[in-house]
Structure 1
Amino acid sequence: MLQEEGLIDADINHRGRVTALDAADLDCLYAARISLECVGVRLTAGRLSRLEVQAASGQLHDMDRAEQGEDYAAWYEAHRAFHQILVARCTPTVRRTIASYAERSERYLRVVQGQHRDQSAQRRQEHYDLFAAVVAGEPQRAVRLTAGHLARTAHHVIEHLAPGRGTRDVQEATDMICGSGSEKVPWMPGRCTAEGVHT
């Protein structure tokens, strides 16, 4: 199962070994996440049950508490549960695929999260804005917020792993979801917003 998730390499009759962090893999992985999760939030926006809304709100508060206490294990647990609720109207098969991609990208995020605490306020606001758009039944806004949120995360992590490499795959996925600008430029935080695409 770990090999299928891309977390280890294992050959027959040989011991498994943890795969190295790979910026190209992460770029493509986040592009896939953007595509799938944007479909998920579009299908889910305005269709959460009262209990699901309460659960998602609870996960947001758990994330806040965990971050304040620097309990990153609890933060990741609440974060996974929160994002899963936002794609709740997908079929179980698609939800499993989204969860698998999120878990694969999480190992990269763990490497850099402690070094980018200055971005925690922005990340927190993005989660609350996304939650509000899904609850309010604003699918287009929810899609743009999701794309921007994931793209920003990918940009920060990949820049840490491979400075100057860029995020071509993430850019392509973001352009596909949000529409491309009149000229191709490297993706920058804030390009894909709820109001539109800014280059």
Structure 2
Amino acid sequence: MPQPIIVIDGIEPLNLTGIRQSVGPLHALLRECILDGRLAPGTVLSQVALGRQLGVSRTPVREALRMLQEEGFVEAEPNQRMRVASLDPSALDADYAMRITLECLALTMTLDGFGTRAEREAKAQLTAMRRAARAKDGEVWFAAHREYHRLLTAGAGEPLRRQLEALADRSVRYIRITQRLDPESWSEAGDTEHPAILDAVTAGDRDAAVSRLAHHLERTALRVLAEQAPDYEPEAVPRAMALVSAGPSPWGRSRPARGLR
């Protein structure tokens, strides 16, 4: 008896006419579903079920899942199935510690060449974020947010930018899940912090720019950790903050109270 098609909520069939065995579209779709939370942590991913639902054979599904495993988004199970990686507070702590140190480094490499065109583009992304927040359009907001941070680090070399993109992709899962828990206030802090970082950058104030960016990333990390793992005590993020010598937080208290949204 043929196995029934197991439908995973939030995944639409792909139109792969002419490229039925292409791994790229499968990998991109599954990766995006993990990043935006449609595929929740712990979801079991059956190669057979995914192949039936998406209209492809198991071979490209297996390859796409292997790529996701290498990126840390899925984990192998003994029965040859894959499971969406669980939320790991220590991993998020480490990822944000690396983001604080590397993104601040990339920012210092960008400051001297940050001209009027980059300033104009960054301001456009800030406007896009504000409009998206008012419209409660998370997809547009995250796209603008990603581009804003890319502009702040554009002066770094390609290897460093690739590392930052990978770290941002891993951490955005946690941010999106937290945002879904509290959709009303998810952009409020950024509305203040993002323009303040840009002001320091355009003024050529290296110390203020580094401090504001570091504390912005710290606040995000600590809030998400408090939401997702209230019993976890961050270790890597505070050490990263000490390394960049960011000074006192310009945003006030960085560590949110347990359970505070």
TM-score after normalising by structure 2: 0.66
> Does the CA contact (< 8 Å) of 2:74 and 2:85 recur in 1?
yes
- Paired with 2:189 and 2:145, the residues of 1 have a C-alpha distance of 15
Match of 1:136 among 203, 221, 229: 203
Query: Does residue 56 of the first structure (1) align with residue 118 of the second (2)?
Result: no
Shift of the 121–131 alpha-carbon distance from structure 1 to 2, 3 Å rule, reads same
Match of 2:193 among 118, 126, 141: 126
> Does the CA contact (< 8 Å) of 1:45 and 1:133 recur in 2?
no
> What letter corresponds to residue 227 of structure 2 in structure 1?
H
- Relative contact order: is structure 1 or structure 2 higher (C-alpha 8 Å, sep ≥ 6)? 1
Match of 2:90 among 24, 38, 54: 24
Following superposition of structure 1 onto structure 2, how do residues 1-199 of structure 1 map, counting pairs within 5 Å?
1-10=67-76, 14-114=80-180, 115=182, 117-118=184-185, 120-178=187-245, 190=252
* Structure 1 residue 44, shift from structure 2 partner: 1.2
* Structure 1 residue 12, shift from structure 2 partner: 10
Runs of 5+ consecutive residues of structure 1 not aligned to the other structure: 182-186, 193-199
> Does the CA contact (< 8 Å) of 1:26 and 1:154 recur in 2?
yes
Identity score, percent: 37
- Paired with 2:79 and 2:117, the residues of 1 have a C-alpha distance of 48
- Paired with 1:132 and 1:191, the residues of 2 have a C-alpha distance of 21
- Is the partner of 1:45 in helix, strand or coil? helix
> Does the CA contact (< 8 Å) of 1:63 and 1:75 recur in 2?
yes
> Does the CA contact (< 8 Å) of 1:45 and 1:136 recur in 2?
no
Runs of 5+ consecutive residues of structure 2 not aligned to the other structure: 1-66, 255-261
> What letter corresponds to residue 98 of structure 2 in structure 1?
A
Computing the radius of gyration from Cα coordinates, the structure with the larger value is 2
* Structure 1 residue 176, shift from structure 2 partner: 1.0
> Does the CA contact (< 8 Å) of 2:214 and 2:246 recur in 1?
no
TM-score after normalising by structure 1: 0.85
